[in-house]
Amino acid sequence: MERETGAGGRARHRWRSLVAAARRPDVQTELVQIVKTVVATVLAFWLATDVFDLAQAFLAAWVALLTVHATVYRTFWRGAQSVIAAGVGILVSFGAVQLLGIGMLSLAVAVLAGLLIAKTPLIRQEGVTVATTAVFVITAGSADQEVLLLHRFLDTAIGVAVGLLVNVVIRPPLDDRVAEGAIDEALASLSDLLRRIGDDFERPVSMEEVGRWLEETRAIDAAVDRAEGQLSFARESQWANPRRRRSPWTIDVDLGAQLLDRLEDGVAHVRAIARAVAEAVEREQEWDAEFRRRWTALVVEVGAWVAEPDAATEPLLEEIGELTRALSGDALPELHWPVYGALLTALGNVVGILGEIKVRRDQLAAP
């Protein structure tokens, strides 16, 4: 009975994990794009065969399959390249067959010419389509028949048109929520790291612990880099997108880029805290008990403050200034002040930067 309960619990956990994953904006967008690609592929094939009665209409389905890209802009641009590439491929295959006849030599020449043309900047992203179209046309034996060549071009045009139409009409992708969530994720990671630094600092800190802090800052940096990529994708997803004005999730990507730049600065100052502690640990410096107690409490407080969206910044900056003034007398050896001053300055910079990000975070939603 316990085994069944345990198995049932694991099954429920897996189900909840699947449901949670399915609710993620990026997963939802990918699933919608998959469905749209299937619809575009089948619709293009149906139009080419049953409406336009084109022979060997597989090319329409194939092009539609490749045309439904992650953004409307990319679908426009790559679709135009596909039409140009297919047209060039048809011309290349026709020319090769006219010069050399249908055979292995004309196929080799057409593919060679197609691959060389594929390097041109205008159709570089879809350049291999030139050679692929030439292969389809020559191996199908239609390179010497003008009507069939026209059919091949119409197949391509139908595939592109259907792919574009489906991607624009059926919930065009607008992935602003992903970029916005990445910023929040980086802030949450910084909050956890600051609280961990404070907890570790309550006792003698080892180099292994400091190494973990530094590793965590590198992980947050990587998350910020991913957020920058997602923000760039969000910018592209807004271009030529009819949902841009209707969606409540449209964000100000320029402001998002500014916040990510400031977030990188904040991570750099947290890394400076870790390196200052590392230098003190390497020198086996004895920490002042009063400084350790108050600075530890302050770092934990800052970590909790980062996670609170509406928490004020000024009280924390006042506490850091008060601690600086309280410990700036003759009670502390002058040798310690370079380290203590660096820690206090870096922490103050972290509060100032993250405070700015938290205030402007609510301005991300574009009017």
**Up-side HSE of residue 271: CA atoms within 13 Å toward CB?**
14
Read off the pLDDT of residues 324-337 as tens digits, 9 standing for 90 and up: 777 766 555 555 66
pLDDT of 362 above 50: yes
CB 45 within 8 A of CB 60: yes
* Residue matched to tokens 């004309």: 106
Read off the pLDDT of residues 62-114 as tens digits, 9 standing for 90 and up: 778 877 766 666 667 677 777 777 778 778 887 887 788 777 888 888 888 88
d(CA 72, CA 318): 49
At residue 332, the 3 state secondary structure works out as coil
Beta bridge pairs of residue 251? 365
d(CA 251, CA 360): 12
Q: What is the pLDDT of residue 176?
A: 55
d(CA 252, CA 266): 21
Mean residue pLDDT across the chain: 76
d(CA 32, CA 222): 28
Two tokens, residue 148? 């069939």
Question: Tell me: domain 176-361, CATH 3.40.50.300, correct?
Answer: no
DSSP annotation of 70 reads S
Helix, strand, coil fractions of the chain, as percent rounded to 5: 80, 0, 20
Q: Is the pTM of this model over 0.85?
A: no
Read off the pLDDT of residues 214-223 as tens digits, 9 standing for 90 and up: 999 999 888 8
Residues 6+ apart with CB under 8 A from 217: 193, 267, 270, 271, 274
Residues 6+ apart with CB under 8 A from 28: 22
What ranges do the domains of the chain cover? 2-169, 176-361
